[in-house]
Structure 1
Amino acid sequence: MKKKITTEEFEVLENKIWLEFLEKATPIEIHKSLITSNFDGNSLLLNLIKNNPKTDKGTILVAYWMSSPSYFKEFLNREDLLEKSSFSIDGFDFVEEIEKKYCDGFYQGNEITFDPKSDSENYDWTSEYDEGVLVRKIPKIMFEKINGKIEIKEYPKDFDNGLPMKPIDYAQKVYDIFEEYEVE
């Protein structure tokens, strides 16, 4: 019979695994982690890249565009969003902070190529940008391709839910928690 743990206890165990990985992760590993992560449940990774000036510009642009910035441009400001749709305030804050920091030159890494108009799977993240619906514009710099030395040309198959499987299978360590415990 499995020992029962709360969701909060599970998150503590999971975060330990994430921190172990992130302490040693290279910029390319962080990039792969981001593009293979579940955005709804990975605030640890998202906050790490948002707050780190060494974050690669290509990686932070991925985070920005995957966060649906066009949606947040339908609101005049944070207060307008709170009046109309308070459920996504964390997303609004995340997008706005990245945008400000990016425009101010906060992010210094420049190793990874990323084009928001054609990513590794040829997806155009900017295609949903419709100025007719928006009350604020996305700055032009956020649309610009980053030309780094490294280009990821396909979805990373060596990562699972944001965690690498080799040389250490961090993803399996998370799955092992589910084998050992019943999460309530």
Structure 2
Amino acid sequence: MEQINQQQQEWDIVRRYLEQATPAQWHLFAARSNYDGNDQPLRWLIDNPNLDRATALLIYWYLGAGWYVQFESEQKMQSYERETFQQLKLLEQRYSEGYYACHNIWFDPLQSEGGRPDDYADLVVKRPIPDLMLIAVEGTEFVDLDDDQYDDGLPMDIAEQIFALYS
């Protein structure tokens, strides 16, 4: 019970931060947060129409889009892979429909520090990546992803609040 309470408190802290963060801070969070066990914050970002297109594209690649080209459908994958696959399809749909905002943030999937289109070059492609998801977002704002005032994508004071929950 205590662990569930801590997880809820952690999500509350992160959610409050995300609600007041800038698009550049969302981009940094998406790039530097740990994607394991981070479903709620990622879903909050994916569902946010004010999210920059570049950040949506970054999340798409950081979720491992290149891995999922080997699957024609969800039936061919492990159960733990299905949620990510659904998120990838949702990102593809929303991205192509213009759901996400343009705050002029730059991102190029071919120069990504996280997932990249060439990560799994040896896989047999059964479900190709849509061409649109391969094109760089030529924004004018380059977000520093190595800001030492952040830990796991969060400002230090927020990260310390979360750390305090578990110590």
Q: 1:128: which partner in 2?
A: 119
Displaced runs of 4+ in structure 1, greater than 6 A? none
Please report how far the alpha carbon of residue 117 of structure 1 lies from its aligned counterpart in structure 2 after TM superposition: 0.7
* Alignment coverage as a number of residue pairs: 167
Please report how far the alpha carbon of residue 73 of structure 1 lies from its aligned counterpart in structure 2 after TM superposition: 1.8
Q: 2:160: which partner in 1?
A: 172
Q: 1:7: which partner in 2?
A: 3
Q: 2:89: which partner in 1?
A: 96
CA RMSD of aligned residues (A): 1.9
Q: What is the TM-score with the length of structure 1 in the denominator?
A: 0.83
**Rounded Cα–Cα distance in structure 2 between residues aligned with 1:131 and 1:97:** 25
Q: 1:145: which partner in 2?
A: 136
More strand by share: 1
Alignment CA distance shift 1:75-1:140 (3 Å)? same
Q: 2:102: which partner in 1?
A: 109
The answer (yes or no) to whether the contact 1:36–1:156 under 8 Å persists in 2 is no
Q: Percent identity?
A: 28
Unpaired runs of at least 5, structure 2: none
Letter in 2 for 1:99: E
Q: Report the structure number with the largest CA radius of gyration.
A: 1
Q: Deviations over 1:127-178 (max 9, x none)?
A: 225386110110111111111121135523221122112xxx1000011112
**Rounded Cα–Cα distance in structure 2 between residues aligned with 1:9 and 1:155:** 31
SS of equivalent residue, structure 1 residue 147: coil
**Rounded Cα–Cα distance in structure 1 between residues aligned with 2:104 and 2:24:** 8
1:32-51 map, 5 Å: 32-51=28-47
Q: Deviations over 1:71-120 (max 9, x none)?
A: 22211122333xxx11211111111110111112111223210011113x
**Rounded Cα–Cα distance in structure 1 between residues aligned with 2:110 and 2:11:** 33
Q: What is the TM-score with the length of structure 2 in the denominator?
A: 0.91
**Rounded Cα–Cα distance in structure 1 between residues aligned with 2:46 and 2:145:** 24
**Rounded Cα–Cα distance in structure 1 between residues aligned with 2:53 and 2:75:** 29
**Rounded Cα–Cα distance in structure 2 between residues aligned with 1:11 and 1:106:** 30
The answer (yes or no) to whether the contact 2:61–2:115 under 8 Å persists in 1 is no
Please report how far the alpha carbon of residue 124 of structure 1 lies from its aligned counterpart in structure 2 after TM superposition: 7.3
